[in-house]
Amino acid sequence: MIAVAVDGPAGAGKSTLAREVAKQLGMLYVDTGALYRAIGLYVLRCGVDPKDRTAVSPLLDNISVTMTHEQGNQFVWLCGEDVSGLIRTQEVSMAASQVSAHPEVRAFLFDLQRDLALSTPAVMDGRDIGTVVLPEAAVKIFLTASAEERARRRVEQLEKAGQPADFDRVLAEVKQRDEQDTNRPVAPLKQAEDAVLVDTTGETPEESLSRMIGIIREKIGSYLA
């Protein structure tokens, strides 16, 4: 398996950086958060509280989630519907974080993630890729940045997507998601012992990118094109 695991809190720049790393190194980029988001969306549509484990678990029997990749772009399908755009709202972010705390949800998505990484060289981003999903990944990077910087970036991202957002509210949500993702009993967000810490606070994306490429080339350069 030639895999790069990129974990870290929301808004650390994982998706932008991991996507670019994959492009430069000719690997597949896999955003695993999108899978949890698809389940969050399904649960919201059913009118079920995403925090309610006993109500969420039986819904999994009705859900099919798949991913496809075309020219570096990832598409997520929920029961045959392309939900790639619909899962990018604040409401779905929060629901994804809440459903991701349920062991049944994590187990449901486990094989899909592993099978992808086993089938092709991949850069996979998430929360537990280096610790749980791909503990044998050749390279593990833990990407982080201060909560304020992450909130600022999220506001920018939402504005670009035509969804103006209030900084204080986004900061509160960033902190709430950190709290939820870090303190859940199953597969909590934490740095794997053998992961390299990359703190992107105050860095430009280009600086963080070149640090990441350097780390990866040092570890698995001889396997890469």
Of 31 and 211, nearer to ligand DC (C-beta) is: 31
Q: Say how far apart CA 144 and CA 135 lie, in whole Å.
A: 19
Looking at beta carbons only, is 19 or 37 nearer to ligand DC?
A: 37
The residues pairing with 69 across neighbouring beta strands, listed in sequence order, are: 74
Q: Least distance to ligand DC from the beta carbon of 187, Å?
A: 7
Nearer to ligand DC among residue 27 and residue 125 (C-beta):
125
Contacts to ligand DC by CB under 6 A: 10, 32-33, 36-37, 93, 96-97, 100, 126-129, 177, 181
- Residue 58 makes CB contacts below 8 A (sequence gap 6+) with none
Nearer to ligand DC, 94 or 196 (CB): 94
Q: Which is nearer to ligand DC, 15 or 224 (CB)?
A: 15
CB of 40 to ligand DC, least distance (A): 7
Give residue 207's Cα distance to chain centre. 21
Question: Which pairs from 66-73 meet CB under 8 Å and 24+ separation?
Answer: 66/112, 67/30, 67/34, 67/35, 67/112, 67/116, 69/28, 69/29, 69/30, 72/19, 72/22, 72/23, 72/29
Shortest reach from residue 129's CB to ligand DC, in Å: 6
CB of 109 to ligand DC, least distance (A): 8
The residue assigned the tokens 């209030």 is 166
**Shortest Cβ 197–ligand DC spacing (Å):** 18
